[in-house]
Structure 1
């Protein structure tokens, strides 16, 4: 067993899955996602080819943006609910970091991986992402663990996963960081992002005509999912 950190809390990184509340707990889901993001950052470091590095950054950006959106719509409101005296302060700092990451990823979205400035921009984004992961695993998540039951942590984790899967996939720095503004904006953005994703993917492989058709199908699929969710909430 690892000793508590200086704040008196035991980091999620030092806990077993059972201690976190099981694989569906928000603690376990966040920790796995942080590990996936870290693996992509290490893959970037190990990749010598500029174009391949650009593809790694594009994948990292999508994962990081989905992760952050799920935090802002599910996890951070849970902090403010369960920790009313601390939640505001705890989440405000990371919301600022999320805004910075969105700004950096928007720049990277149109940047040339061969540009002399590209790597420095990527590493600034990596620094903020890693800092957030440590803050969450060493401080925020253990604080939530102290006041929420394992069942509550699993319920938060399930809601977080739904939002992560249906979140926008591209940076949108001007979208509000808090509900209900971010949740309302996510509906059309999730559709348009997936249309663009499908179009770009197929344009390179099969041509623009098929890409447009795939984009329309992707939009229809996303709208169907969102409509079904809306009906379940009635």
Structure 2
């Protein structure tokens, strides 16, 4: 178990992702250099994809176990739409179509994130012990490590073994594809703590 001084909070780890995606979107909109803009877009796609799977594999599972199945179902439906939009943007070449598609994906992500921030996270935050917050934060961060860096809207969203297996396979595939393509990323504004 973690000591009090190094306890994590699942809400804070989720919020880091939300803030990073918003920051990436601001940077994308402001960037004039095409190559840098594409690196930002690659990072934006990666972060939206990883975040969705990480929540499904960890936090949503916890919510469902604590009587929030209706919230989880609604959130998974939103995640599926976000994944579809992110995948659509990711498979479009740079240009006006890409700009419109990545904007649509970001807007769906941001709407979902704001809903979480306004209702789901605060409600759960007040009902969790420090130990539960820490455990779920660590589960979320482990799930981020396992999640594929690209959106896969047709993959299972169960949060269970099928999604973990599909995610592991997709993660390996995506890393190979990104290496072959020479996909480049930009640094994130905020970093998650090292937990391993």
**TM-score, normalised to structure 2's length?**
0.84
Q: RMSD between aligned alpha carbons?
A: 2.0
Match of 2:155 in 1: 175
| 8 Å contact from structure 2 (residues 48, 86) kept in 1 | no
Instruction: Tell me which of 194, 201, 214 is aligned to 2:175.
Output: 194
Match of 1:152 in 2: 132
1:128-167 maps to which residues of 2 (within 5 A)?
128-167=108-147
Match of 2:29 in 1: 45
1:108 is displaced (CA, Å) by 1.5
Q: Tell me which stretches of 4 or more aligned residues in structure 1 moved more than 3 Å.
A: 49-52
1:154 is displaced (CA, Å) by 0.7
**TM-score, normalised to structure 1's length?**
0.71
1:189 is displaced (CA, Å) by 1.4
- 1:134-157 deviation line (CA, Å, top 9, x unaligned): 111111111211322111011000
| Structure 1 unaligned residues grouped into runs of 5+ | 1-20, 205-234
* Counterparts in 2 of 1:99 and 1:154: CA distance versus 1, 3 Å: same
Bigger mean CA offset, 67-76 vs 40-49:
40-49
| Structure 2 unaligned residues grouped into runs of 5+ | 185-196
Q: Equivalents in 1 of 2:144, 2:92: separation in Å?
A: 26
1:118 is displaced (CA, Å) by 2.2
Aligned residues: 179
- 1:145-179 deviation line (CA, Å, top 9, x unaligned): 13221110110000110110221111111111112
Name the structure, 1 or 2, with higher relative contact order (CA <8 Å, separation 6+).
Answer: 2
Match of 1:113 in 2: 94
1:22 is displaced (CA, Å) by 7.5
